[in-house]
Structure 1
Amino acid sequence: MTGAAAPRVRGGPPPSALTHDRMTHVELTWIEKKIEYWIRFGREAAEQIIDRRQRVVSFRPNTVFAFVRWAANDFGTIISRIDIVRAVEPGEAYQTLPFVRPGGEILLKIEGWPKVEDVLRHVDAIEAIGIDADAVSPEHWRHVHNRMAAGHQPRAYTLDQHRAFLLRGKVRP
């Protein structure tokens, strides 16, 4: 799966066996009202369908994506979480994250459904002004994480901030 995007594949080796490539692999599960793991944003480079409930999506290095995990049992929600992650280059340091192989740079980590909903609304607001959420400055996602961890509302991401971020990228070698 190196180079160009790999075609969709049914079955095949488990994601942990796919360590020979440069991609970051995310294991997704969807069992309605029990386990719902999904990608909110991010440009997938490949998808591997395991069965009707499981698939693995892959991201190229430096791709930013949002991974949402929600699970419940007979008594209610047991996990509700969103992680915004940057896929890393081979050999680059990374943080481990369940269902993400090998791991990534975690830009935002939020737990609890009310806070997860706030992050999802924040993503919607960014997309409403015409910016793809995966193109947002990584510093902004860190800002959102830090503000929410401190119990404060994050500042909105603006077109001016985005233009400045894009211009900084052109200046750096």
Structure 2
Amino acid sequence: MSAKPPPKWMGHPLPDDVISDLTLVQLTWQERRIEHWIRFGRPAYERTLNRASRIVGFAPGTIFAFVRWAANGFGTVISRIDILRAVPIGAPYQTLPFVRPGGELLLKIQGWPKVERVLRMIDVIEALAIDPGDVSPDYWRHLHNRLTAGEDAHAYNWSQHRAWLKRRGVLQ
């Protein structure tokens, strides 16, 4: 009986050390062409595939921001930020390019002006000494809805964060 070949993802064999319940994200960096990066989140796994790409993995429940930007000879083709929560095996999820299997989509914004607004809101949260990965998922949904509607979003604050931490403690 022959050995089964290792599973592949994005054309690369998955390393043996990948934990099966992780949400995997392929990151690519080709200066001024393709730039995929994690803006925040705590990876539980990281593996460099080659000079231009690597895989990071997030444990179930982890919230992270995935930024994608691409350009061609005529300018920017895509600017996008997605804020997701990694899901456990068997839970429902939305699929996204470069994310396996997918995640619970909390925010999905396209277009550089709106992406830039989200990045500024993340900076404001970090200035409060709050890790954006610990922010209430409801806030990311609020931000998504307000920006999609062309409205200003409410700033996240310590009062909201304390309430979320208490609620999260009860839910666990």
Give the % identical residues. Answer: 60
Alignment of 1:7-156 (within 5 A): 14-15=8-9, 18=14, 21-156=20-155
Structure 1 residue matching 2:122: 3-state secondary structure? helix
Q: CA deviation at 1:69?
A: 0.1
Q: Name the amino acid aligned to 2:48.
A: I
CA distance in 1, matches of 2:59, 2:20: 10
Structure 1 residue matching 2:69: 3-state secondary structure? strand
Decide whether the 8 Å contact of 1:37 with 1:70 is kept in 2: yes
Q: Name the amino acid aligned to 2:154.
A: R
Q: What are structure 2's unaligned runs of at least 5 residues?
A: 1-5
Runs of 4+, deviation exceeding 3 Å:
12-20
* TM score, norm. by length of structure 1: 0.90
Q: CA deviation at 1:170?
A: 1.9
CA distance in 2, matches of 1:73, 1:152: 31
Q: What are structure 1's unaligned runs of at least 5 residues?
A: 1-11
Q: Name the amino acid aligned to 2:135.
A: V
In structure 2, what is the equivalent of residue 9 of structure 1?
none
CA gap of 1:24–1:94, structure 2 versus 1, over 3 A, is same
- Note the aligned Cα RMSD (angstroms): 1.6
CA distance in 1, matches of 2:141, 2:99: 19
Decide whether the 8 Å contact of 1:15 with 1:25 is kept in 2: no
Q: CA deviation at 1:149?
A: 0.5
CA distance in 2, matches of 1:14, 1:47: 16
Worse-matched range after superposition: 162-171 or 131-140 = 162-171
In structure 2, what is the equivalent of residue 162 of structure 1?
161
CA gap of 1:20–1:41, structure 2 versus 1, over 3 A, is closer
CA distance in 1, matches of 2:33, 2:159: 41
In structure 1, what is the equivalent of residue 3 of structure 2?
none
CA distance in 1, matches of 2:96, 2:164: 27
Deviations 1:114-160 (A, max 9, x none): 10000000000000001000000000000000000000011000000
